Chains A and B, each alone.
Chain A
Amino acid sequence: MDAPDRLSISATGLTRAFRTGRGPVEAVRGIDLTVRAGEILGLLGPNGAGKTTTLRMLTTLLSPTGGTATVAGHDLARDPAGVRRRTGYVAQSGGVDPTVSVREELLTQARLYRLRKAEAAARLEELTLDLGLTGLLDRPCGALSGGQRRRLDLAMALTHRPEVLFLDEPTTGLDPGSRADLWDLLRRVRAEWGTTVVLTTHYLDEADALADRLVVVDRGAVVAEGTPAALKARHAGSPDASLQDAFLAITGRTAAPRESAPVAV
């Protein structure tokens, strides 16, 4: 291979410590991460592993206490504004005011991303069609169903056609139909615009179906990395094994007691 794939994200030793009453706690301790342009990367890990903290650093919401990263061609520390212009983020909670109308939220977000008024109006039309929000524009965001809300959150994050899209547990709480819709949507976003997608999830079937590559973090560090098939082969014995078994083996939380090893003291 003579030309290496273009990288959307490259992070080295990314670290974040929080001060607590009992001294500093490292939520993320030295994560190295590379994501190729146009890749869908699944970030897995138990609760509290540091997934959200990692996303919040990569989206400039939280400054790292150590390490460096380049996101969409811009240095996280030196040019956070450049990173913001080229990335989109959907937080776990979403980000719309339930009392504000869908139209106003989409237009405001477009303007916050520095689209001109006419551009913002045109983009509103496009996103409404692309994300199936027709007929919802004049409703308050609080009146939307869970699936509609997620599509709106996604539309907000795609307003400025970002190169990299970060999603924190995008399908938590959705019914199976809405989840499948969202998967299709993300695949389409990647296929049509070449958007790089980084998402965290607790649903291993989702990770298996959607992600090209998985990174498993535990206790703030990367503990495994590879395609779903490679992880299954390496950690669960066969590429056809379940991702669940591989995940449990990687994070040391074995489900069924096979040969229960004596507890080390």
Chain B
Amino acid sequence: MTPVPRLMSDTALVFGRYARQTLRSKMAVTFGMLMPLLYLLLYGPLLTDVPLGSSGSSWQILVPGLLLQLALFGAGFAGIGLLMEKQHGVIERMRVTPVSRLALLLGRVLRDAVLLTFQAGLLVLAAVAMGLRAPLPGVLIGFAFVALLAASLASLSYALAMKAPAPQAFAPVVNAVNLPAMLLSGLMLPMSLAPGWLDALSHLMPLRYPVDAVRAAFIGHYTAPAVLHGTLAAVALAAVSVTAGTRLFRAAGA
């Protein structure tokens, strides 16, 4: 077999293993979307009459943020599963087989992207029940961003888990990255409300661009510069993350 079909069949194999693992733990699937769901139900109603400095309803501003929050936290903690596997020797047992190192990462990451996109779909349905009205293409663009960011952030999370000297160090590090990422990207409220210095600072946070892009898509502005910038940021992040993740699967002293 030539390298590309081999990579694909290896990836499908690894994906299958982790997809079955996910299907076995329906609790985890449900609880994984608890955080954005609670924000939707208990925080969303606070915004309906607040001027948010943007066109569209408050739901069109909040729901894109919640979709990316789902990706940020869902994929950010993906490495926890790998930590447990590392302890059981599962990672090394896979790494001594001829399976492609890239596939060991991609199969897992693909599972995360599919799972989080599915959860994003459920979240949007719940949001529609709460009052969200948004054009379908915009929502689909939102899902594409969720999938791409989930893949990037999960790769980074796996890289961190491979590298983490102790499992206890993992969660504090993820939180230390995720909280500033959430606040500085304007996930909860658009950065157009921010004072100049905070707005400037938020431009240094790569996640801000995808957030702005999905908000633009949700109000039907598919050709806005924000969509282009968001796409570029997400693709760049994916390239860096997958490269870093694969390097660690190849070489890590896990």
| Contacting residue for A97 out of B90, B95, B98, CB 8 A | B90
A59 to B87, CA, bound (A): 19
The chain B residues found within 8 Å of chain A, CB to CB, are 10, 13, 17, 20-21, 24, 85, 87-90, 92-99, 251, 253
Let me know if A95 and B98 touch, CB within 8 A: no
A96-B88, A113-B98 provided; 4 other pairs, C-beta below 8 A?
A95-B90, A99-B21, A104-B17, A112-B94
Residues of B within 8 A of A77 (CB): none
A139 within 8 A of B: no
A242 within 8 A of B: no
A62 within 8 A of B: yes
A100 to B18, CA, bound (A): 11
Residues of A within 8 A of B97 (CB): 84, 109, 112-113
Residues of B within 8 A of A89 (CB): 92-93, 96
A114 within 8 A of B: yes
A91 to B97, CA, bound (A): 13
Closest chain A residue to B85, Cβ basis = A97
Closest chain B residue to A98, Cβ basis = B88
Let me know if B13 and A109 touch, CB within 8 A: no
Let me know if B93 and A84 touch, CB within 8 A: no
Residues of A within 8 A of B10 (CB): 112
Closest chain A residue to B97, Cβ basis = A112
A96 to B56, CA, bound (A): 51
Tell me what chain B mostly uses at the interface: helix, strand, loop, or mixed: helix
Q: How far is the CB of B53 from chain A (nearest CB, A)?
A: 49
Q: How far is the CB of B15 from chain A (nearest CB, A)?
A: 12
Residues of B within 8 A of A109 (CB): 93, 97
Q: How far is the CB of B102 from chain A (nearest CB, A)?
A: 13
Given contacts A112-B13, A112-B97, A113-B98, contact A93 B253 (CB under 8 A): no
| Residue of A62, A63, A98, A111 with most chain B CB atoms under a 10 A cut-off | A111
Q: How far is the CB of B32 from chain A (nearest CB, A)?
A: 17
Residues of B within 8 A of A113 (CB): 97-98
A95 to B10, CA, bound (A): 19
A15 within 8 A of B: no
| Contacting residue for B92 out of A85, A88, A95, A100, CB 8 A | A95
Residues of A within 8 A of B13 (CB): 108, 111-112
Residues of A within 8 A of B96 (CB): 59-61, 84, 87-89
Let me know if A94 and B88 touch, CB within 8 A: yes
Residues of A within 8 A of B99 (CB): 112, 114
Residues of A within 8 A of B90 (CB): 95-97
Q: How far is the CB of A103 from chain B (nearest CB, A)?
A: 12
Let me know if A93 and B98 touch, CB within 8 A: no
Question: On chain A, which size bracket covers the interface?
Answer: 20 to 34
Let me know if A114 and B98 touch, CB within 8 A: yes
Q: How far is the CB of B158 from chain A (nearest CB, A)?
A: 16
A9 within 8 A of B: no
A100-126 interface mask toward B, CB cutoff 8 Å, 1 = contact, 0 = none?
100010001101111000000000000
Let me know if A61 and B98 touch, CB within 8 A: no
Let me know if A93 and B95 touch, CB within 8 A: no
A25 within 8 A of B: no
Closest chain B residue to A108, Cβ basis = B17
Let me know if B92 and A61 touch, CB within 8 A: yes
10 A–B contacts from the bound complex (CB under 8 Å): A60-B95, A84-B97, A91-B89, A92-B89, A95-B94, A96-B88, A96-B90, A99-B21, A100-B21, A112-B98
* Closest 10 A/B residue pairs (Cβ): A95-B93, A93-B89, A95-B89, A112-B97, A84-B98, A89-B96, A91-B89, A112-B99, A81-B98, A85-B98
A131-163 interface mask toward B, CB cutoff 8 Å, 1 = contact, 0 = none?
000000000000000000000000010000000
Residues of B within 8 A of A84 (CB): 96-98
Q: How far is the CB of A120 from chain B (nearest CB, A)?
A: 11
A59 to B94, CA, bound (A): 12
Residues of A within 8 A of B251 (CB): 63
A87 to B98, CA, bound (A): 10
A181 to B20, CA, bound (A): 34
Given contacts A104-B20, A108-B17, A111-B13, contact A61 B89 (CB under 8 A): no
Q: How far is the CB of A157 from chain B (nearest CB, A)?
A: 8
Residues of B within 8 A of A85 (CB): 98
| Residue of B20, B97, B99 with most chain A CB atoms under a 10 A cut-off | B97
Q: How far is the CB of B60 from chain A (nearest CB, A)?
A: 41
A109 to B93, CA, bound (A): 9
A87 to B95, CA, bound (A): 12
Let me know if B98 and A91 touch, CB within 8 A: no
Let me know if A93 and B88 touch, CB within 8 A: yes
A113 to B93, CA, bound (A): 11
Q: How far is the CB of B16 from chain A (nearest CB, A)?
A: 8
Q: How far is the CB of A146 from chain B (nearest CB, A)?
A: 15
